[in-house]
Amino acid sequence: MDKTIANQNYSKVIGRLAELARRLEEEGLPYEALQRPIDDKEMRHRLVRFWIAGGFESSLSQKRAREIMGKNMFGIEEAIKHFEVNPSREQLAALADVPFSEEVLASCKDTHILVAFFPLSLLDIRGKVESQRLFYDQSWYNKQAFAKDRGEVSWHLVLKTPVPDSTSKNWTEQQSLLGSDDETPFARVMAYTIIGHYLATGEWLFEKIYVRCSEVDSYGQRVDLGLFDEDGLDVNSIWDNFRSDNLGLSSARKSN
Please tell me the predicted confidence (pLDDT) of residue 32: 79
pLDDT score, position 49? 56
Are 166 and 249 in contact by the 8 Å Cβ rule? The answer is: yes
What does the pLDDT read at residue 1?
Answer: 40
Q: What is the pLDDT of residue 10?
A: 64
pTM (predicted TM-score): 0.82
Q: What is the 3-state secondary structure (H, E, C) of 96-152?
A: CCCCCCHHHHHHHCCCEEEEEECCCCHHHHHHHCHHHCCECCCCCCCCCHHHHCCCC
Count of residues making up the chain: 256
CB 95 within 8 A of CB 116: yes
Ranges under pLDDT 70 in the chain: 1-10, 43, 45-56
Find, among 125, 239, 249, 113, the residue nearest to 185 by Cα: 249
89 CB-side CA count, 13 A: 0
User: Residue 74: which H helix or E strand, with range?
Assistant: strand 73-74
Q: Which of 256, 177, 181, 179 is nearest to 212 (CA)?
A: 177
pLDDT at 4: 59
Quote the pLDDT of residue 47: 63
